[in-house]
Every structure is written in C-alpha cells, then in structure tokens.
Structure 1
C-alpha cells in the first residue's frame, strides 16, 4: 500500500469529571476531519492520547474510528507499547477490526539495542499481515532509530513498508532516500518541517493540523504536487505560527483547546496532562484566525 498526502490525526474525546470516552464526539470530529480533504485517518497516535488509554478504551476508539471512516480513506491505527506481547495483541486486534495499516513505535524504559528494536518489529510483523509504518519519535518514545536500522528492517521484514519520522531532522529524510534508492516511502511527522519534507520527497504529512486549519494542509500538499512552489510557500508560512504553537504547547492540550473553542466538545486531556491556560487559548485563537482569514 502506498499512502500519499495528508494523514490526519484525531484526538480522543473525553467527557465529564471522570474523563470517560466520548464516542459520539469522536464520531463528529472524525467526520469533520474527512471534510478537510484528508487522505488517511490515523487514530491513537500521540495526539489521541493512546498512552493514557486502557486496553478496552483503545479497542473502543479503534473500532469506532474504523466504523465511522467506513473505507472512505485508509485508517492507520497507532500502536506504541513497552512490551512486544502487548504490541502483538494490538496488531492482531487492528487486523481483526479492519484497519488498513498499523503505525508501530517501541516505547523504552530500559534503553533498547538495535537488535532488540529489530526483533520487536520482526515479531509483530510475524503475527499480522497488515502493512506496518515504522514510527520514529524519540521525544515521546525514548527510542531513536537510525535511518540505517529502519532501512534494514524495510529491506528484511516483509510487511514493513513505510516510515514516519518526527525528529525534525531533514537529513534523516535525505538518508532514507539515499539508503533505499527512493524505494522507502517516508512521511513527515514534524509539523514545522512540512514544506521542506515535501520538497525532499516525503510521500505524506502526518499531522493534527486539519483539526484546526481545515483544508490548508491539503492545499499545501496540492500546491507541491502541481509544482507551484510559490503558492506552497505562501500556504506554509500562513500555517507555520500555528504549527509551531501546537508543537511547543503539546498536541493533546492545544488541539483539544482549539477544538473546544470551535464548538467541538472534546473535553480536556487526561491527567496528568493539563488543559490550556486562558492565555494559551487566547494566543491559539488569534493564530488560527490569522491563518484561516483570507
């Protein structure tokens, strides 16, 4: 499977003081994302607070997301686990539920060797026929996989067929291209790097931005695809202040604050994460208004 374009990340809505899952709000926000010309939907990433969900909650979000999207675009389910066994359990459930792709990221307490990381992916891949996107995000996982290791896994493990890199290092993307002669599809997960990544040959942009910026991310992608670099630059710089703000403020906090202010009742991030302060919300609203006003 070759994914291209804007891969959008939904939040996981909660309601009430007990912060229980709000599947109705998830339904609404997923449909809103699909209206923003997104090319795939990726629930249960870091913006979806997957690390803070129980196993039963993870299954509910996965099942609901797949049902709501209903084959309109591919669904990529996020799997980020300390143990190989739990990652395998989620991979099997993702396949059972009808996901199109799984995005897998190892989480580290003890520092993992390259061989341990390799076997983590190898053993997950042996238990599912789903395509696997390797996800490298050392800021949240504590694991930084080199382009050489990822390329080796791509070449040797059959259903590993793409990589998402969120390090913010454009040289990693150049390295993926060079090591694999352009055959490894790579995806940008660092929002402020969107324009550079597309120009470096990224197949897609994995982003929460459509939640707050509507069709602007898709318009940027289309401008790049049609070779209109001047338009792409204009669209990118329009979005950049928002992209920087949401990364610096933390995705669950800032995206939920923005969605709530736009009339989507998605609740607050799950504790110990805190909601945005009034000052942060005011700044975010001003940035969104500036970006989305013609």
Structure 2
C-alpha cells in the first residue's frame, strides 16, 4: 500500500460529561475530514487523545472509525503503548476490524535501547499482516529513533513500509531519503514544516489541520505536486499562523476549541488536559476569521 497526500487526524469527541466517546460526533468529524479531501484517516493519534482512553474506549473509536470510512480511503490506526504485549493486542484488534495499516510509536518510561525498539516493532509485525508506519515523535513518546535505526527496521522488518517523522528537523527527512536510497516513503508530522517537507519529497502530510482548515492542506499538497511553488508558498504562509498555534497550544485542546468556534461542539479534552481558555479561544477566533 502506497499512501500519498493528506493523512488526517480526527479528534475523539466526548459526551458532555466527558464519561465516554461520542461516536455519533466522531462519525460527523470523520465525514468533515473526508469532505476536505483527506486521502487517509488516522484515528487514535495524539490529536485523538489515544493515551487517555481505556482499552474498551480505544476499541470503540477504532471500530467505529473503520465502519464510518467504509473503505472510501485507507484507515491507519494509531498504537502507542509502553509494553509490547499491549501494542500487539491493539495491532491484532486493528487487523480484525479491517484497518488498512497501523501507525506505531513506542512510549518509554525507561529509556529504550535501539535493540529494544527494534524488538518492539519486530514482535508486533510477527503477529499481524498489516503494513506498519513507524511514528517518530520524541516530544510525546520520550523515544527518539535515529534515521539509521528507522531505515534498518525498514530493511529488516518487511511489514514496515513507511515512516512519519515529527521531530520538526528537515535534515531527518533528508537522511532517511539518503540512507534508504529513496525507497522508504516518509511523511511529514510537523505542521510548520509542511512546505519544506513536501518540497523535500515527503509522500504526504500527517495532520489534524483539515479539522479547521478544510480543503486548504490538500490544496497545498496538490500545488507542490504540480510544481506550482509560488502558489504553494502563498498557501502555506496563509495557513502557518494557525498551524503554529494549534501545535503550540496542544492539538486536542486547540482543535476541539476551534471546532466549537465553528459551531461543531465535540466536548472537552479529557483531564488532566484542559479546555482552551478565553485568550486562546480569542486567538483561535481571530485566526479562523482570516479564512
């Protein structure tokens, strides 16, 4: 499976009392992302507050997402677990419900060695037949995988077919390309790096931005692909203030607040995460009003 374009991240809506995921609003959220031209849907990432869900809730959101998308585009289920066994349990479930791929990020309390990280992915791959996207985001996981390790896993673990690189360092992407001789597709996971990454040959952009920006991220991708860099640059810089703000403010908080401002109430982030305050909502309103 070769993914290209915009891989969009839905939020996980909660009921008014925050006690459970709101599956009806999750479906509405996914439909909005599909309407914006998203080329794949990736539930249960950091935007989807995966780390704050019980296993039963995680299963509900994963299964409902697959059912709602209904094969219109690929679904990539996010998996982030401290233990290999918990990750395998989720990977098996993702395959069982008909997901098209999984995106796996190891989470660390004790610092993991390269050998331990390799074994983590190898053990998951041994239990499923789905393609695996490596997700490197040390800011949230505490694990920073070098380009050398990422390419080694790509070479030695057949199910690893792609990598989402979210350090915000364009040199990482250049290194992945060089070490893999251009064979390992890489995807940008740092919103403010979108233009540079796409121009550097990223196969796509993994982002929550379409929740608030609609078709604009897909338009940026298309402009780069057709070589219209002048228009792409203009499009990117128009989006950049909002892209930077949602990352700095925390994606669950800012995306949910932005959706509420546009009239789509999806509940609050799950504690200990907090809702956007008055100043943050005012800034979001101002940024959204520019579009």
For normalisation by structure 1, the TM-score amounts to 0.98
Equivalenced residue count is 291
Q: Which residue of 2 aligns with 1:86?
A: 86
The answer for unaligned runs of 5 or more in structure 2 is none
Stretch of structure 1 that moved more, 10-19 or 26-35:
10-19
1:54 match:
54
Deviation at 1:60, TM superposition (A): 0.2
Give the equivalent residue in structure 2 for 1:11.
11
Task: Write the distance in 1 (CA, Å) between the matches of 2:86 and 2:43.
Answer: 18
The aligned residue for residue 264 of structure 1 is 264
Q: CA deviation at 1:278?
A: 1.0
1:287 correspondence with 2:287: yes
Q: Distance in 1 between matches of 2:172 and 2:18?
A: 42
Indicate the residue corresponding to 2:128 in structure 1: 128
Report SS of the residue matched to 2:111.
coil
Aligned-partner Cα distance in 2 for 1:17–1:210: 26
CA-to-aligned-CA distance 1:259-278 (integer Å, 9 cap, x gap): 11111121000000000001
In the alignment, which residue of structure 1 is the partner of 2:70?
70
TM-superposed deviation, 1:249: 0.2
CA shift for structure 1 position 18: 3.8
Shift of 1:16: 2.1
Aligned to 2:78, what secondary structure does the other structure show? strand
The TM-score, its normalising length taken from structure 2, stands at 0.99
SS in 2 for 1:109: coil
Aligned counterparts, 1:90-169, within 5 A: 90-169=90-169
C-alpha deviation, 1:20, in angstroms = 1.6
Q: How far 1:237 sits from its partner (Å)? A: 0.3
Q: CA RMSD in A?
A: 0.6
Quote the Cα distance in structure 2 between the aligned partners of 1:149 and 1:74.
Answer: 27
Task: Tell me how far apart the structure 1 counterparts of residues 113 and 274 of structure 2 sit (CA, whole Å).
Answer: 33
SS in 2 for 1:14: coil
Alignment of 1:233-272 (within 5 A): 233-272=233-272
Change (3 A) 1:121 1:186: same
Matched residue of 1:135: which SS? strand
Counterpart Cα distance in 2 of 1:28 and 1:264: 9
Unaligned runs of 5+ in 1: none
Change (3 A) 1:24 1:152: same
Contact 2:18–2:270 (8 Å) recurs in 1? no
Counterpart of 1:15 in 2: which secondary structure? Answer: coil
Counterpart position of 1:274: 274
